[in-house]
Amino acid sequence: MDKINNSRSQIISFLILLIGLIIVLSPLIIVLYTSFFSNTSDHSFTFHYYQQAWEKGNFILAFANSSLVAIAVTILQIITSTLAGYALARLNFKGKNAVLLLILSTLVIPFQVLVIPIFLVLKWGHLINTYWALILPTAASGFGIFLMRQYFTTIPLELEQAAALDGANSLQIIWYILFPLAKPAVITLSLFTFIGEWNDLFKPLVFTNNPNLTTVQLSLSSFQEQFTSNWSLLMAAVVISTLPVIILFIIGQKQFIEGVSTTGIKN
């Protein structure tokens, strides 16, 4: 009887998971189907819409700009988050808890609330319509600092003490010991940052109006305005714009899950 009940529960669980999988994947399947099959009555399979979308959307320039901005912001966030996270995890200084609370409070402040002062600062520095206008506003992240701080607290202090006895300074300890051990957290932060920057429409829309600085999301936005009646062409553009993010997540998903699960172990 117990075996029968277990088999039934497994079957029910499988069916529930299968239904959930279908619900989650159904929008993606619809997008892919629409992008590969023509709008004509025969619904023939074709790559024509991808070629047309790539040319009309000027995705070569958009990919180059988005890649440059996303990579630059990711590198800067890794540097700032690692250094600040180490300070909050290991160094003892007056007001450390207050600084941590202040950093955490930035997580609940929408970027849109800060857009006016940021715009004024960028304008004062003559950075509007430059790559720096897309990079500097998100060069540091409260989430990234907290993530790295959490991960550093899980690393045994004895490793740093042993390195210090050998004459290593704080920067050497971070670079040669903590940073390699924090690989899951670094990859997690990199994925979050890169995907967030790649999908960002707000900064390019507000801080730039130069066609040469068009990003993927700006290109896709203008594409949607021009070709709302051609769903196959529009869905092909959507697939093109999201494909790099999907590939990146598939490559780093193991470290991403490990980093997310580990950083919450210890406060």
CATH of the domain at 87: 1.10.3720.10
Per-residue model confidence (pLDDT) at position 267: 41
Split into its structural domains, the chain has a count of 2
Residues 5 and 98 in one domain: no
* Same domain flag for 27 and 99: no
Domain annotation covers residue 56: yes
Does 203 lie in the same domain as 129? yes
pLDDT of residue 2: 58
125 with 214, same domain?
yes
> Do 21 and 86 fall into the same domain?
no
98 within a domain of the structure (yes/no): yes
131, part of any domain: yes
So what's the pLDDT on residue 263? 53
Task: Indicate whether 15 and 113 sit together in one domain.
Answer: no
Report if residue 122 sits inside a domain. yes
Q: 69 and 29 in one domain? A: no
Residues 50/240, Cβ–Cβ less than 8 Å: yes
- pLDDT recorded at residue 226: 67
* 127 part of a folded domain: yes
Those residues whose C-beta lies under 8 Å from the C-beta of residue 70, and which sit 6 or more positions away, are 193, 194, 197, 198
Q: Using one digit for the tens of pLDDT, what is the confidence trace for 158-198?
A: 888 888 888 888 888 888 888 888 888 898 899 889 999 99
* Residue 211 sits in the same domain as residue 257: yes
Question: Which residues of the chain have a pLDDT value below 50?
Answer: 265-267
* 253, part of any domain: yes
Looking at the fold, whether 15 and 102 belong to one and the same domain comes out as no
- Is residue 157 one of the residues assigned to a domain? yes
Do residue 30 and residue 56 come from a single domain?
no
pLDDT tens digits, 34-62: 888 776 666 677 788 888 888 887 889 99
Show the tokens assigned to 262. Answer: 């580990």
Where in the sequence is the domain holding 203, given as residue range(s)? 49-262
Distance CA(59)–CA(216), nearest Å, equals: 7
Residue 153 lies in a domain: yes
pLDDT at 266 (0 to 100): 44
Same domain, 91 and 21: no
Q: What is the predicted pLDDT for the residue at 131?
A: 95
Residues 247 and 161 in one domain: yes
CA 205 to centroid of chain Cα atoms: 19
Q: In the prediction, which pLDDT does 249 show?
A: 78
